[in-house]
């Protein structure tokens, strides 16, 4: 029981929320927000209590101190998203659906945690589906808006396709190794052509979820159409979970073909970072802008994986942690402004500093962190990733990544320029954020600084990570 504590706690609060939704009279629905956030906070805190590690169900489920920590990181991201959603959920058209929102969000989190803890490809696949299907419903949450419905449809189609490809790859791996348990697939995975093809399909399926180029085409449309908070959840928690499990699987099950997958990653990293950056420059809508920026960030995450070392895994986890805070900070600002005014393009943000200086500052710090400018955590995250790849001798790759960082600086600064320097005839009016929005943004702000300064965090992650050599 204690081994599976993270998942069981989440299942428990999901069922509690469902029962509350069933038995609570209609006029008290908005209290669910507070209840859900309190319950999730409790789960987050309980998750940090050290517990036993081990395997269950004959190797079907496994957990280690590393996996527990990854789950805690995901819990943090999910909690911040839940807090940031409060303002949007209070809108009259969403009032009837508050519990559903949290239930679906939590069930995707359950899926991700089972995915991380799986010891078997079947369990992994089930976790992946549980992490994906409710997200389609969430993307179409504002179903009477055409864009939102379109986002849901696009998301379910592309994720169904990618799941199908992934499953086909798994069937090849099963056909050649005769087993689905990670512990047994690993030694039997010698790299015969069929196994390699199976791996390629598997990797393509995962690349869809992390939205790597050339599997990224769904990203911008879905992020633009879906509610802002769902876009931020997709770009941070969902992507982070997929990156974590991909790292773990590449380092364990597919370790024998490390040479091959690092070649694949090499090309994909260059493509992803470059395409993500170049397309981000052209975007006017901030949600699309952040979508392409998140594609580029996904490419950076892979830099740590290609490092193949213990240090590399540490940097991946550390970067995702930083990325959670910085991206959620940026999305949080976009979310509150979109809720209050409906403005989503960069031009609308002209002169934001004059009317809403705090939001503008918050946005600036988040974008600095995403770009990797020294005082904030994003700089350390990127720097460590580069170091991990450079340690492996991939200097050209690191050079390309650094050039891309400079390009990314340009477009992040465009937004900052709009907020601080541009003048506008119709600036976004001044408004007061409610308690939850402020809380969410303050948490992100604290994260952006604390994770960068506290080196103990990096060392704690490093103590738990493992590498290929």
In the complex, the residues that contact another protein under the rule CB under 8 A are: 11, 14-15, 18-19, 21-22, 56-58, 60-61, 96-97, 100, 103-104, 107, 110-111, 114, 120, 122-123, 126-127, 129-130, 133-134, 136-137, 140-141, 143-144, 152, 176, 192-194, 197
Residue with Cβ nearer another protein (104 or 241): 104
Closer to another protein by Cβ: residue 7 or 350: 7
User: Smallest distance, Å, CB 221 to another protein?
Assistant: 17
Nearer to another protein (CB atom), residue 67 or residue 334 = 67
Find the helix packing angle between 310-341 and 286-307, rounded to 10°: 170
Least separation in angstroms between CB 171 and another protein: 13
Q: Which is nearer to another protein, 200 or 400 (CB)?
A: 200
Counting Cα atoms < 13 Å in the Cβ hemisphere of 5 gives 21
168 vs 449 by CB, closer to another protein? 168
Are the C-beta atoms of residues 222 and 151 closer than 8 Å to each other?
A: yes
| Minimal distance, residue 170 CB to another protein, in Å | 14
Would you put residue 156 in left (φ > 0), alpha (ψ -120 to 50) or beta? Answer: alpha
Q: At its nearest, how many Å lie between another protein and the CB of residue 83?
A: 21
Which CB sits closer to another protein, 203 or 318?
203
The position carrying tokens 């506290």 is 454
Nearest-approach distance from CB 317 to another protein, in angstroms:
25
Residue closer to another protein by CB (options 152, 312) is: 152
| Alpha carbons 326 and 319: distance in angstroms, whole number | 10
Sequence-distant (6+) residues with CB within 8 A of 373 are 379, 409
DSSP 24: S
- Pairing mode of beta strands 61-63, 54-56: antiparallel
Both tokens of 259, joined, read 């040479």
Whole-angstrom CA distances from 215 to 44, 130, 165 are 33, 21, 12
**Cβ nearer to another protein, comparing 120 with 344:** 120
Residue 469: is it exposed, middle or buried by C-beta count within 10 angstroms (0-12/13-18/19+)?
exposed
> Cβ 131 to another protein, closest distance in Å?
10
Smallest separation (angstroms) from another protein to the CB of 141 = 8
- Pick 128 or 365: Cβ nearer another protein: 128
- The number of CA neighbours under 13 Å toward the Cβ of 255 is 16
> What's the CA gap between 288 and 231, in Å, rounded?
10
What is the torsional sign of CA 216, 220, 225, 230?
positive
Query: Minimum Å distance from CB 123 to another protein?
Result: 5
Q: What is each CA distance from 87 to 98, 338, 352, 442, in whole angstroms?
A: 11, 11, 20, 15
Residue 293 phi, psi (nearest 5):
-60, -35
The nearest distance, CB 204 to another protein, in angstroms, is 11
């Amino acid at each position: 029981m204690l081994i599976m504590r993270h998942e069981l706690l989440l299942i428990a609060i999901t069922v509690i929320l469902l029962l509350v939704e069933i038995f609570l009279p209609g006029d008290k629905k908005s209290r669910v927000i507070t209840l859900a956030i309190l319950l999730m906070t409790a789960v987050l805190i309980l998750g940090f209590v050290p517990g036993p590690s081990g395997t269950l169900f004959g190797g079907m489920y496994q957990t280690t101190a590393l996996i527990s920590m990854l789950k805690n990181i995901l819990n943090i991201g999910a909690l911040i998203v839940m807090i940031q959603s409060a303002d949007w959920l209070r809108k009259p058209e969403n009032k009837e659906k508050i519990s559903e929102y949290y239930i679906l969000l939590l069930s995707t989190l359950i899926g991700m945690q089972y995915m991380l803890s799986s010891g078997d490809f079947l369990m992994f696949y089930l976790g992946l589906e549980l992490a994906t299907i409710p997200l389609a419903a969430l993307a179409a949450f504002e179903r009477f808006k055409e864009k939102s419905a379109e986002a849901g449809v696009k998301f379910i189609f592309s994720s169904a396709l990618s799941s199908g490809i992934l499953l086909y790859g798994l069937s090849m791996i099963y056909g050649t190794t005769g087993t689905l348990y990670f512990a047994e697939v690993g030694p039997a995975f010698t790299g015969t052509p069929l196994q390699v093809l199976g791996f390629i399909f598997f990797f393509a399926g995962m690349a869809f979820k992390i939205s790597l180029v050339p599997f990224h085409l769904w990203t911008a449309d879905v992020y633009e159409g879906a509610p802002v908070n769902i876009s931020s959840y997709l770009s941070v928690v969902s992507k982070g979970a997929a990156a974590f499990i991909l790292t773990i699987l590449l380092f364990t099950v597919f370790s024998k073909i490390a040479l091959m997958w690092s070649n694949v990653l090499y090309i994909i990293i260059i493509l992803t970072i470059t395409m993500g950056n170049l397309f981000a420059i052209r975007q006017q809508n901030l949600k699309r802008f952040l979508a392409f920026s998140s594609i580029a960030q996904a490419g950076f995450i892979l830099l740590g994986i290609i490092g193949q070392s213990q240090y590399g895994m540490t940097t991946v986890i550390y970067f995702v942690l930083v990325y959670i805070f910085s991206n959620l900070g940026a999305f949080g600002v976009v979310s509150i402004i979109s809720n209050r005014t409906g403005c989503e393009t960069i031009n609308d943000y002209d002169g934001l500093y004059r009317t809403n200086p705090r939001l503008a500052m918050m946005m600036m710090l988040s974008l600095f962190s995403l770009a990797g400018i020294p005082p904030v955590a994003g700089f350390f995250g990127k720097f460590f990733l580069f170091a991990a790849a450079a340690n492996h001798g991939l200097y050209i790759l690191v050079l390309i990544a650094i050039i891309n960082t400079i390009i990314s600086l340009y477009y992040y600064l465009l937004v900052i320029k709009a907020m601080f320097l541009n003048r506008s005839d119709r600036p976004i009016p001044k408004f007061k954020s409610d308690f939850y929005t402020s809380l969410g943004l303050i948490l992100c702000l604290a994260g952006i600084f604390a994770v960068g300064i506290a080196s103990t965090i990096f060392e704690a992650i490093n103590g738990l990570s493992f590498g290929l050599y």
